[in-house]
Structures are given as structure tokens and as C-alpha cells.
Amino acid sequence: MTMKLSARQHKQRLGFSLLTLMTFLTVIPIIGVVIYIVYLGFPAINLEFLTGFPREGMRDGGILPAIIGTFYLTLGTAIFAVPLGIGSAIYLSEYAPDNRATKLIRIAIINLAGIPSVVYGLFGLGLFVLFLGFGTSILAGSLTLSIMTLPVIISTAEEALRAVPQAFRTVSMSVGATKWQTIRKIILPQALPGILTGVILGLERAAGETAPILFTVAAFFLPSLPNSPLDATMALPYHLYVISTQVPGMPIKIQYGTALVLLVFVLSMNLIATTIRSRARAKRQW
């Protein structure tokens, strides 16, 4: 009897090779985008670019107002979305009865995540800018971004809470803790890294979105920084759109420099989230 590989083993090898190839193919665009943007955008990065105002009809100078604007919007989104999102997640994971109403809430949250961001923008314009009279402002923009971010935060936070072993709840209550004490002293601390990861990933999405802020907050150009939540502001994603399509004769390195700053902003949030997650996994005791 020979010891040659059989036909089905050859088939298996071919299958594995194909799957490996497909995986590499998906990584290429990700690496490509980063290299391309760094290559074209890095020459634009200097102190004035990061700390100065746009000059010469935005063809020169810096992008400080857009950086600050995106920072404020992310912060504003966090202020509204984080307490609301975590609160809902605690309710859904720990308190919600298993009934029709809860199912409806879950379906609503899942669907909320699927709504196109431009629709959120229009909704924000109608509700916050016009009906509630906030005007095009950081407040209106943050609220719009919050609604868009909530499903991400709620789903990941709920998942993190559910991952904490049921036995901890039983044991805690068997020694006389109330349900709320159990959540606050045992469940939340254990779920916190997972919740934080979800929060950061949600905020990261908010920071990079263009459509919602286009309708509710973003300004084409402002000569000064915003002073109050009711001011409009420039923001990185919208600024990138403006200088890439609306201003003739724009130097290409300014465009890619802006893209690079946005990319670094978002990717560093991602890095923080990943670090929190892997550290917590290493430390986790269950």
C-alpha cells in the first residue's frame, strides 16, 4: 500500500490555500488605505497645520477649528450617549422581563443600528435644529450623533454584562445582597472593560461620521473657535469633504493631511479600546 496523499486530502489543501488567500486579500485594502494616506498626507503635517486656522481660502494654514470641533462633538456625544446607553444595557441585561415589550425594544435597537446615517442627519435637522430650536449647533450635532451611536453602545454593553457568569449573581444574592448591590459591586466592575470598549467603538464611529453633522452642526468655514454648545463648528470629516470637492485649486497634501489627522484620531481611539480589552482579558478571573 502506498502512502500518497489521497484526492480528498489534496482537495482539503486546495481549500485551505483558497481561504488563506481570501483572508490576505481583505487585509490588502486596509493596509493600502493607511499607507496611501500617510504617504500623501504626512508632508502636510507640521505645527501650523495642527494649531493654526485655515488661510488663503483654506488652501494654506491649519485645521485647528476642525480638530477642536470634532473633539467637542465626540465629547458631546459621550455626555449624552454613555449614561443613556449603559443605563439601557443594565436594564435590558439585568431587569427586563422576558416578554413582548422587551423583544420590541431589542428589535428597535437592532434596527436603529441599520438606519443610514444621512437619515439620522435629516431627523436631527428636523427635531433638534428646527423643532427644538437649537439651531445648527454643537448641541444639535451631539444629540444627533448620540442617537446614532446608542445602538452600538447598548448592544456591546449588554453583551459585556451578560458575559459575567450567572453564578456570581446567585452567590451575591445568597449572602443577602440586593439585586442593585450585586450589579454595582460585582457585575458592573467585571463588565466595565467590555462596556468601555463598546463606548469607544461607538464614539469612534460618531467622530468619523459626515452626514449627521452636515445637517445639524458643521460649518463650511468659521473664523473663530466655538464658544458655547449652541455655536456651530467646523469638523474634520465635513472639512475634508469641503476641501476635496468645493474649493478649486486645493493642494492635495492639505486634503490628505486632513484625512491623516482624522485617521489618527479614530485609529488611536480604536487602539485604546483594543488595549483595554486585551488587558482585561489577561486579568479576568473567569
Shortest separation between residue 176's beta carbon and another protein, angstroms = 4
If the CB atoms of residues 125 and 276 are measured against another protein, the closer one turns out to be: 276
Number of residues that bind another protein (CB under 8 A): 20
Assess 285 for contact with another protein (CB under 8 A): yes
Instruction: Closer to another protein by CB, 6 or 285: give it.
Output: 285
Least Cβ distance, residue 160 to another protein (angstroms): 14
Q: Report 153-212 residues binding another protein (CB under 8 A).
A: 165, 167-178, 181, 185-186, 189-190
Q: Give the ranges where 164-218 is alpha helix by DSSP (H).
A: 166-174, 179-182, 188-208, 211-216
**Shortest Å, Cβ 175 to another protein:** 4
Nearer to another protein, 94 or 231 (CB): 94
Residue of 127, 148, 131, 158 whose CA lies nearest to 73: 148
Interacting positions 17-36 with another protein (CB under 8 A): none
Shortest Cβ distance from residue 178 to another protein (Å)? Answer: 6
Tell me how far apart the alpha carbons of residues 120 and 112 are, in angstroms, rounded to a whole number. 10
Chain-centroid distance of CA 61 in Å reads 28
Contact present, 81 and 153 (Cβ < 8 Å):
yes
Closest CA to 88 of 165, 157, 162, 22: 157
Q: Which is nearer to another protein, 112 or 192 (CB)?
A: 192
Cell of 65: 477649528
Residue 96: CB minimum distance to another protein, A:
14
Beta carbons of 63 and 50 less than 8 angstroms apart: yes
248: number of CA atoms within 13 Å, CB side? Answer: 0
Length of the chain: 286
What residues make contact with another protein under the rule CB under 8 A? Answer: 165, 167-178, 181, 185-186, 189-190, 285-286
